[in-house]
Amino acid sequence: MHGDLTVAESPQKAAASMEAVDVEAGEYEAIFDDSGVLYEPAVDGRKVARLLPTENRDYEDLVARLNAYGERAGLALPVGDPDLPVFAARCIAERAWQRRWPKRPGWLSRRLHDSGPPRFDNT
């Protein structure tokens, strides 16, 4: 769906959540890190998704996409804050964690979702 947004702690974790068939179909419109570096999705010979950093950086587009998503999702994001990407990632991850399924039994939830939402820092 256009405008969907997913966050991950690292490019490696983001790639691990991607399906090769979706990468090959061009399902991913834009992939950024928190500084605005764009990543190119690719599929290797074993049909494993990978994210390759490009030379392109578009922090303004990243911020615009985060603000648009925040408005659609009803998130109060701090406009003009230089930590907006990390703050938004925390909010989105927390919301996804609260809506996760299954929550019970606990062992299955932990196996599928870990023991809490992803952690993001500014480093």
pLDDT digit string, tens, across residues 66-100: 999 999 988 888 878 888 999 998 888 888 878 87
Q: Do 20 and 45 contact (CB within 8 A), yes or no?
A: no
In this prediction, residue 19 carries a pLDDT of 94
Q: Is residue 64 part of a domain?
A: yes
Q: Is residue 3 part of a domain?
A: no
Q: Is residue 119 part of a domain?
A: no
**Whole domain around residue 71: which residue ranges?**
11-113
Entry pTM:
0.76
Helix (H, G, I), strand (E, B) or coil at 106: helix
Q: Is residue 84 part of a domain?
A: yes
- Total count of domains within the chain: 1
Burial 49-66 (b: 16+ CB within 10 A, else e): bbbeeeeeeeeeebbebb
